[in-house]
Structure 1
């Protein structure tokens, strides 16, 4: 290794140790601080250098020596008052020794990421403890259910295609379940942290991440029960529902970027055009409203195994229906499937179509149009829900916002140039 690289490695090791040590010193950690941690990481780096000439036992001996140092430091703290019985600093010491050694034999960016993550994790002690304190039994169950869905069920499923048209792949189907449940769970826990403090803008965004349809139903029912009281701000409620719907469109784009990233340069522009219009309408409504007293309704856990199974079944049926429609009816059959699927779950048709585009089974132009048709079908369905479940005053406001969006979406499908390629994301 050239001398310049040696000094670069040493500087990075020293810097990471200083970063973690600074945080520990700020927290008045008695065992190790701004001087000890740099020494630990540099010690790990030197051990790794020596191991290149004398064997890996040098690193093992260094790790044992670091462990002995931690044990002695703890023994010296016995009998003193206000001793911190936590093991966070001790674990950080051992990990930073390993980071210092990894800098020599591993990838430098990974070592830097680990060291920086250690500093951030140590610094977020209070926010993490506060967030965990807000979790109830239902929330812990949600986490465990997601672990079952993603780490227990997914790995054991066969990654083979079955059934008619050879489109039913259990592993791929359940992978889409994990993706959708993961997005919903992220929004759910953001809601749990923020709770009813979430205002109009944030409430709508969280609702779109968790479930825009559920958010629409919840707010529509609340407007119905509130009646025509002067305290009810229907502009505010309509804005929350519309924001959730706009975020659901953004969620569609995110799903495409995960499943079929190579198609984004052709697929994203028309969808982003509609999203931009909806963002303009949100901005106008946000400045027009007089108050920000919106509160998120109680949200359901999106990681229920039953919910995951239902989505998996819906997704599988959409895949099968899409293949059958394409085979028997051509493009016209695909649009019928998109309209029907969009009424119930736009995620399923989005993911299935994204996979078909990624596999070049359908053309990109047909793909984004199918997804947009499903999204517009879902918007119309939510408008119908507001009409049935909500107050007439709320429906009048939602109908205006949704109507503009539906007309704009139809014009995009009709007028968007076929050969238009806007390479926003690079070729």
Structure 2
């Protein structure tokens, strides 16, 4: 390895019959970074009273940097010496404490590799490695508690989600296949990953917060399935329910609706940012109306909340392969139906498909609209209108669950709130064409952006 400089004083060191010139300031910076990173992880080991502490890790990092500066051969020699040092450390520890220091040994090897990277002139990469490694050591108790509390089903779900995104998605063919190019495997699978990921994150949040209140349960449940959430909350309001129970259910139902609208807007933003901007007026209006009815002091929600009277666990649906595939299948059917109806019946046919699809799965219907727009098969305003129609359809399909509640005041309050949300959503939908023209004129880059994972 040769480092040449004509402007900075250099120190000449013979290496394998040649003279490698080391720019003093540059090399000093590399060694200082290596030392700082070694001291960082050494500080954590010192606090835990390990055999290898602050000075040992500092020396290892600097030694790795010096070896890399001399050449690759010396870097390998330093790495082997560090390995021997870990063997000696474990032998000594077994003699004195009848145990091994595998974690410290691994940290020493990582520190040596980071020092070698510093010696080769890298900065951000070794710094990121060492910071993450130190965090793993410092968060030992937290990580152990998390792993112990993890159930087999949760671990299996996480692995399934990883398989969906990392193993299966890259193997799918790119572009359209089948007659008329109606099927896009990657787009359909991206929807499966996206919706399954939202469900999995929602489950993690549910587990973290528990059933502390109807508000949390309503919002988290609405992220996955607003209809199930609304049905469960409405069933808790009987003809003689006190005002606190009714108010809790009222707020939970509106928060479930807000969560559904938020989820659909996020799906649009991830899959087709231009469509999300075109539909922003309607989604902002619906969210604003929901927030008003939830938090305004004169609404029924202000009469009280029963924190302990949370819905059952069936509101939150843990991630499963079947639920993910179901969403993907619905998306695929809606995508094909949307292409065919738009081709033969124009935008009106696509809107009808979105209306029906929203009653089954508004998330899949919104994803289908975004996919069609991203592929150039729909205009921005048409796709935004279809996504909004699907969201409004999801709001409307929840009303029958509320209307069967034998509490007229509660039903009236929910009906008024959802009607206002729907009306404002329709009013915001009228801005779709204007916002789409704005995107086309001033933000053309959004037209070419597709949010499918690469």
The one of 114, 124, 127 equivalent to 1:112 is 127
What's the secondary structure of 1:35's corresponding residue?
helix
CA contact (8 A) 1:184 1:211 kept: no
2:56 equivalent to 1:42? no
The count of residues paired between Structure 1 and Structure 2 equals 418
The one of 234, 238, 246 equivalent to 1:234 is 246
CA contact (8 A) 2:39 2:57 kept: yes
Alignment correspondent of 1:340: 356
Larger gyration radius, structure 1 or structure 2: 2
Matches within 5 A, 1:51-66: 51=71, 56-66=72-82
Most deviating of 228-237 and 377-386: 228-237
- Classify 1:330/1:8 alpha carbon distance in 2 versus 1 (closer, same or farther; 3 Å): farther
Deviation at 1:385, TM superposition (A): 2.6
Alpha-carbon displacement from aligned partner over 1:77-105 (angstroms, at most 9, x marks no partner): 22435x77563333222223223333455
Alignment correspondent of 2:13: none
Aligned-residue CA RMSD (Å): 3.2
Alignment correspondent of 2:449: none
Matches within 5 A, 1:271-290: 271-284=283-296, 288-290=302-304
- Classify 1:361/1:3 alpha carbon distance in 2 versus 1 (closer, same or farther; 3 Å): farther
Deviation at 1:288, TM superposition (A): 2.2
Alignment correspondent of 1:366: 382
Deviation at 1:377, TM superposition (A): 0.9
Question: TM-score, structure 1 length as denominator?
Answer: 0.85
Question: TM-score, structure 2 length as denominator?
Answer: 0.80
Deviation at 1:16, TM superposition (A): 3.2
What's the secondary structure of 1:318's corresponding residue?
helix
Alignment correspondent of 1:203: 217
Looking at structure 1, the residues matched to 244 and 54 of structure 2 have their Cα atoms a distance apart, in angstroms, of 56
Most deviating of 69-78 and 212-221: 212-221
Alignment correspondent of 1:171: 186
Deviation at 1:267, TM superposition (A): 4.5
Alignment correspondent of 1:413: 429
Most deviating of 402-411 and 61-70: 61-70
2:159 equivalent to 1:144? yes
Deviation at 1:174, TM superposition (A): 1.5
CA contact (8 A) 1:217 1:389 kept: no
Most deviating of 232-241 and 320-329: 232-241
Deviation at 1:129, TM superposition (A): 2.5
The one of 149, 158, 162 equivalent to 1:134 is 149
Alpha-carbon displacement from aligned partner over 1:343-395 (angstroms, at most 9, x marks no partner): 11111122222222223332222222221111111111122233347865543
- Classify 1:130/1:376 alpha carbon distance in 2 versus 1 (closer, same or farther; 3 Å): same
CA contact (8 A) 2:68 2:119 kept: yes
Alignment correspondent of 1:245: 257
CA contact (8 A) 2:268 2:366 kept: yes
Deviation at 1:397, TM superposition (A): 3.5
Please list every run of at least 4 consecutive aligned residues from structure 1 whose deviation after the TM superposition is greater than 6 angstroms.
none
CA contact (8 A) 1:131 1:193 kept: no
- Classify 1:309/1:187 alpha carbon distance in 2 versus 1 (closer, same or farther; 3 Å): same
Stretches of structure 2 that go unaligned for 5 or more consecutive residues are 4-22, 447-454
Matches within 5 A, 1:212-231: 212-221=226-235, 223=236, 228-230=240-242
What's the secondary structure of 2:54's corresponding residue?
coil
Looking at structure 2, the residues matched to 388 and 31 of structure 1 have their Cα atoms a distance apart, in angstroms, of 69
2:333 equivalent to 1:317? yes
CA contact (8 A) 1:135 1:192 kept: no
- Classify 1:284/1:231 alpha carbon distance in 2 versus 1 (closer, same or farther; 3 Å): closer
Alignment correspondent of 2:269: 257
Deviation at 1:234, TM superposition (A): 1.4
Alignment correspondent of 1:71: 87
